[in-house]
Amino acid sequence: MTPQNGSTVFPEVAVAMAVQGMAIRPAGEDINDRTSGHHHVLIDQPDGVSEGTVVPATDKSIHYGKGQTIAYVNVPEGEHTLTLQFADGAHRSYGPKLSSTVKVKVKPSTGERKVSFIAPQDGAKVKNPIKIQMGLEGMKIRPAGEDPLDKTTGHHHIIIDGGPIPVGTTVPADEKHIHYGKGQTEAEITLSPGKHTLTLQLADGLHASYGEKLSATISVEVE
Ligand SMILES: [Cu+2]
């Protein structure tokens, strides 16, 4: 799961939920299917839920019964544990063998977190080389590689003609995914003439995406 054990995070924690050897299936579809289930996030319950017990539904025991694999979990400031617990279609826990716990340190929020293109503007007609200015609010830029467990900083990426990268997924490095791992906020790129989309995507020190919430997409037309 993301975040990794020992991470420093902001209160609305982006969690990427994975499972091995089981399928994800929305709750209630087949309560006797023992090969599938759905995720739950437990706050400050590092032992998980014992096998066969129905996972409670509270603000510290959250069900993802639609089969979600990405969630934003509100965790108070301070040191807490987050436990991923897998359970069947009737919410009966699969027990400790299908749970995973990480410790996180939740830092005070620094306001709404947002990435945006300062330039160019959405819909702009542009000429090569295209000058790009990358904006970030509520978080600080930090060069890649300095601290992979710091989820309160990040660096920019530009994705050409592709969308945002899901939370926790590593941003590829190729000609359509450009990393600004030194912490750059300005860049020049060259594109073929015609219409393109540009997506700005923030990611952590290990290039794991912060997801759609920390992305922005614009269209440009290149002369
Ligand atoms: Cu990167």
Domain match, 177 and 212 both: yes
Task: Say if residue 87 is in the same domain as residue 118.
Answer: no
Residue that the structure tokens 């952590």 belong to = 204
The pLDDT, as a whole number, for residue 46 is: 97
Res. 166 pLDDT band, cuts 50 70 90:
very high
CATH number, domain with residue 196: 2.60.40.10
31 alpha carbon – ligand 1 mean position (Å): 41
Whether 218 and 120 map to the same domain: the answer is yes
Residues 44 and 140 in one domain: no
- Asked whether residue 176 is assigned to any structural domain, the reply reads yes
Beta carbons within 8 Å of 37's beta carbon, 6+ residues apart = 19, 22, 23, 24, 25, 86, 87, 88, 89, 94, 98
Angle at 195 between CA 193 and CA 197, to 5 degrees: 120
In a domain? residue 12: yes
pLDDT in tens, 4-29: 999 999 999 999 999 999 999 999 99
Q: How far is the centre of ligand 1, averaged over its atoms, from the C-alpha of 155 (Å)?
A: 6
The pLDDT value recorded for residue 216 is: 98
Same domain, 153 and 97: no
Ligand 1 midpoint to CA 195 (Å):
25
The reply to whether 44 and 82 lie within a common domain is yes
Same domain, 99 and 33: yes
86 and 150 together in one domain: no
**pTM of structure:** 0.93
Residue closest to 217 by CA, chosen among 153, 174, 157, 167: 157
Q: How far is the CA of 204 from the centre of ligand 1 (A)?
A: 7
In the chain, how many domains are there?
A: 2
Which CATH number is 84's domain given?
2.60.40
Mean of the pLDDT values across residues 198-213? 97
- Contact between 168 and 153 (Cβ < 8 Å): no
**pLDDT for 183:** 98
Contact 79, 15 (CB under 8 A): no
- Residue-wise pLDDT tens digits, 30-88: 999 999 999 999 999 999 999 999 999 999 999 999 999 999 999 999 999 999 999 99
User: What's the confidence (pLDDT) of residue 66?
Assistant: 98
Tell me what percent of the residues of the chain surpass a pLDDT of 70.
100
C-alpha 203 to ligand 1 mean position (Å): 6
Question: Residues 100, 183: one domain?
Answer: no
Single residue among 73, 90, 106 that ends a domain in this structure:
106
**What is the distance in A from the centroid of ligand 1 to the CA of 13?**
20
Residue 34 within a domain: yes
Our CA dihedral for 140, 171, 15, 84, rounded to 10 degrees, sits at -140
Cα 36 to averaged position of ligand 1 atoms, centre (Å): 34
* Residues 136 and 217 reside in one and the same domain: yes
Distance CA 14, CA 17 (A): 10
Picking from 67, 89, 106, the residue at the C-terminal end of a domain is: 106
Question: Residues 21, 92: one domain?
Answer: yes
What pLDDT sits at residue 61?
98
- Domain range for 156 is 114-222
- The CA 137 to ligand 1 mean position distance, Å, reads 18
Alpha carbon of 181 to ligand 1 centroid (Å): 5
Q: What is the mean pLDDT of residues 140-164?
A: 97
Q: Report how far Cα 46 is from the mean position of its chain's Cα atoms.
A: 22
Give residue 175 CA to ligand 1 midpoint distance, Å. Answer: 13
Examine the domain organization and report whether 99 and 140 are in the same domain. no
Q: pLDDT band for position 181 (50/70/90)?
A: very high
